[in-house]
Amino acid sequence: MTVTKQAFSLNFSLLSKFINEEEKNKYTNIISMIHQEMHSPTSKDCDALGWVDLAIKQDQKEIEQMLSVANEIRTKSAVLIVIGIGGSYLGAKAVQDALTPYFSKKSGETEVIYAGQNMSGAYINQLLQYVEDREVYVNVISKSGTTLEPAISFRVIKSYMEKRYGDEIKNRIILTTDPKNGLLRKLAQEEGYRSFEVPAEVGGRFSVLTPVGLFPLAAGGIDIQALLDGAKQATNDLMFSNYKENEAYEYALSRYLLEKKGYIIEIMASFEPSLRNVFEWWKQLFGESEGKDEKGIFPVSVTYTTDLHSIGQYIQAGKRQIFETILHVRNQQEDCTIQLMENNFDQLNFLEDKTFHDINTIAKNSSILAHYDGGVPVIQVEIDKLDEYHLGYLLYFFEKACAMSAYLSGVNPFDQPGVESYKNNIFALLNKPGYESLKEELEERLTEIFD
């Protein structure tokens, strides 16, 4: 079955020998019931479902405020440092990298760079050295303000900004945080920083279409209104409760049925390197939403044709527990054509007048056939072109599909209880007050392991 729209299409035809319509039809009523629950104002998860119609209900006044501050940054600053981790940076970086030229020498453009997504002392030191002779603004993103990686990076960068800019720091640091609660909200109130709100009912990995993603993207010159327009269209297109009319639900159902048959690893692939960080965002979205109670498909990503020369052999002939979702861009705005050469030194004159995109598309089709023949189920997702509108559509599609997929598996898409385990261990071993008893237990266990 192929579902096609002008902007977006999915092809499920290469799943027919792995799952059939009869199997899928058994879930028609279940999916409809989940859909009704997701869209109900009295849903048990209503406090986490604000993203469902976010693009449609987006406050235009808030958009104008973000654009105003973003324009100020683009006028006055060479660099915006965005501090965040997980959903607080992956969405913005995904869109930014997808739409930014691979190599750019443009002067006068504000560069968006990231901190707080790791705990490398070398990274933070080199970042501060990099911006030393450039004008800087900072956007720190965290609902609670207590997540360790961005918190320690903000502490260091805030100190740097205070020394460099003095009282002007109030204009140069913008907070994106919870509307009412958390350390950053308190800081904004006490020290007078400007701030944007993360809607209380939108979790981090679903927040790319809130100020979490929109504000840094606007500062980087991305057309956030077009991004939202694409998401609005996807919201309308994906409102149907029947999976046969809703590509997001058919994708979710196909994944679920493949997992039941032992295909527990999904490889998200593209032949366009600029989509690499879209896949990093996708991995967090699905991995953190589904990976609970010893359930869930393990999300990994590759960039072809590069990775066909590294792990392509395993994909072709390794354990048959993988399936592949290939994201393809139909039309490229920029391309390169192969020219005829008189001496034909490389014996490639047969490629005359073909473009790189032509060859890439043939490589994509060839790989799909080879992997399918090797026993790999393949789903193809296509967008018409790589721009803000189509990325906005794609982001919402994956969000809607992810929620349905998790619900089908019987897990809550919006919590992440497993993440708290390692965080508690870190706080205990770093002597955070209140973790003393856990620290004693962990030190005993570490002694047994390492001594």
Residues 354-412: pLDDT tens digits? 999 999 999 999 999 999 999 999 999 999 999 999 999 999 999 999 999 999 999 99
146 preceded by cis ω (within 30°)? no
Instruction: Give, to the nearest 10 degrees, the angle between helix 417-429 and helix 148-165.
Output: 60
User: What end-to-end distance do the CA atoms of the chain give, in Å?
Assistant: 59
Q: Is the dihedral of CA 168, 194, 76, 142 positive or negative?
A: positive
**What confidence score (pLDDT) does residue 105 get?**
67
**What confidence score (pLDDT) does residue 418 get?**
83
**What confidence score (pLDDT) does residue 288 get?**
97
Cα dist. 147→123, 205, 380 in Å? Answer: 18, 14, 37
268-325 pLDDT, tens digit each: 999 999 999 999 999 999 999 999 999 999 999 999 999 999 999 999 999 999 999 9
Decide if 353 contacts 337 (C-beta within 8 A). Answer: yes
pLDDT at 38 over 80: yes
- Clarify whether 288 is annotated catalytic: yes
**What confidence score (pLDDT) does residue 227 get?**
98
pLDDT at 341 over 90: yes
Fold agreement (2-39+239-409, 54-225): yes
**All structural domains of the chain with their residue ranges:** 2-39+239-409, 54-225
Q: Please report which confidence band the pLDDT of residue 1 belongs to, taking 50, 70 and 90 as the band edges.
A: very low
Q: Tell me the pLDDT of the chain averaged across its residues.
A: 95
In 3D space, the residue among 362, 399, 100, 68 whose CA is nearest the CA of residue 222 turns out to be: 100
Please give the structure tokens belonging to residue 89.
């940076």
Which one is predicted more confidently, 326 or 103? Answer: 326
Strands of the sheet containing 8-11, edge to edge, are: 2-4, 8-11, 378-385, 322-331, 265-270, 298-303
Other CB atoms within 10 Å distance of the CB of residue 348: 12
| CATH class label, 54-225 | alpha beta
Mean pLDDT value of segment 54-75: 95
In 3D space, the residue among 254, 329, 294, 359 whose CA is nearest the CA of residue 12 turns out to be: 254
Instruction: Give, to the nearest 10 degrees, the angle between helix 388-409 and helix 28-38.
Output: 110
Of 26, 76, 423, 440, catalytic: 423
Please give the structure tokens belonging to residue 13.
């035809």
Domain 2-39+239-409: which CATH number of 2.10.69.10, 2.30.40.10, 3.40.50.10490, 1.10.238.10:
3.40.50.10490
Please give the structure tokens belonging to residue 361.
């598309």
Cα dist. 312→15, 271, 334, 380, 437 in Å? Answer: 20, 13, 27, 18, 48
Of 197, 259, 266, 288, catalytic: 288
**What confidence score (pLDDT) does residue 2 get?**
43
Helix, strand, coil tally for the chain in percent (to 5): 55, 15, 30
For a pLDDT cut of 70, what percent of the chain falls above it? 98
How far, in Å, CA of 404 to CA of 42, rounded?
17
